[in-house]
A = this chain, B = another copy of it.
Amino acid sequence: MNTFGRLFRLSTWGESHGPAVGCVLDGCPSGLELTEADVQCELDRRKPGQSDVTTARGEPDSVEFLSGVFEDRTLGTPVSMLVHNRDADSSKYRDFIYKPRPGHADLAWRMKYGHVDWRGGGRSSARETVGRVAGGAVAKKILQKHRVQVVAYTKQIGRVKSGEVLDSSMKGVADLIESNPVRALDVDVARSMVDEVKVARKKGDSVGGVVECVALNVPPGLGEPVFGKLTADLAAGVASIPGVKGVEFGLGFDSASKPGSEVNDEFTYAGGVVRTTSNNSGGIQGGITNGMPVVLRAAFKPTSSIKKRQHTVDLNLKKNSYIQVEGRHDPCIVPRAVPVVEAMVNLVLADHMIISGNIPRKL
């Protein structure tokens, strides 16, 4: 259950306040050029302390390869990657042992497992996503060899929404996203988003948002009917990210209120190739890619850890109580969730390209 994928399989492990977090990536084709730097640059995009709108936990998040790579090429064997936890601080968590934090998995976890890791968020912490980003970085490297490019960005933070993507080629977009602390496509909107986050933090509160992800040059024919549809696998991958409360493709929920004549993507020949004149389906029809860009969005709830006083219970005293969640928390998880969404999409696409035979087992 801590493993994702069919032939290209990622298993992640690690608690937020244990000695380390990491992952094992199985089914990676052999012969892929891969160095720790390829993975490190993605981890750097996810790591805490990047800007003044993220948590202050100071983790270098340096990755070590333990297996699967030799002479800077993959062997076809499992790639084991490890990241030490350097700045774990459990002092703030002692108070919460018997007081489940609203919005968190504390109580659900306790009911399921009994034995509780009071040192911190444990396995339900978003720190778990380190392994996903590490694995996703390898998937990205594979996909790049086949020109598939996956880019995610912040579409909404709190009440501030970004407009549409202008240029379908996505040229320069990757840099643009990294040029602002919230990873938005529009620098002006980014400023408003930063304000939205700062206002919330000032109030001891938090905000959520929406991440949009686009995959370009995805070959047609990916996705397996009927339960292995690409939508199903993407939905599972993205919905498994901490904080995600919704996933949609193409027009998504908006397609519910529109007539078929406006939603159907019509076909036309363009340069000898059949294309659709719109992309309301988000590049996936009947669960199978049609060669158009794959487009999805994920809704993130606001960070659960807030300094505002909230009602909770004291499981020890068995009575109602209050809680104020101090500690180093992101007031908005969305900017750091962008590379995590990318990672999951990269993982799904690499897996399906291997399943469909688009990527050989030996590169």
Contacts and interface: CB of A to CB of B under 8 A. Distances in A.
A171 interface: no
A247 B220 contact: no
Nearest to A268: B320
A327 interface: no
Nearest to A238: B235
Interface stretch (A51-59, A142-150, A299-307): A299-307
Interface string A231-249: 1111111111010111111
A297 to B, nearest CB: 8
A57 to B, nearest CB: 18
A251 B287 contact: no
Interface string A186-228: 0000000000000010010111111000000000111111111
Given A14-B67, A239-B235, A360-B357, A103 B265 contact: yes
Given A18-B70, A66-B82, A274-B313, A108 B3 contact: no
Contact of A108 (B7, B220, B356): B220
A66 B19 contact: yes
A189 to B, nearest CB: 15
A289 B109 CA distance: 9
A119 interface: yes
Contact of A227 (B3, B222, B282): B3
Interface in A335-363: 355-357, 360-362
The range of chain A's interface size is 35 or more
Contact of A107 (B7, B70, B290): B290
A1 interface: yes
Nearest to A26: B2
B257 A247 contact: no
A75 interface: yes
Nearest to A20: B66
A102 interface: yes
Nearest to A315: B274
A304 B205 contact: no
A114 B362 contact: yes
Interface stretch (A35-43, A120-128, A162-170, A176-184): A120-128
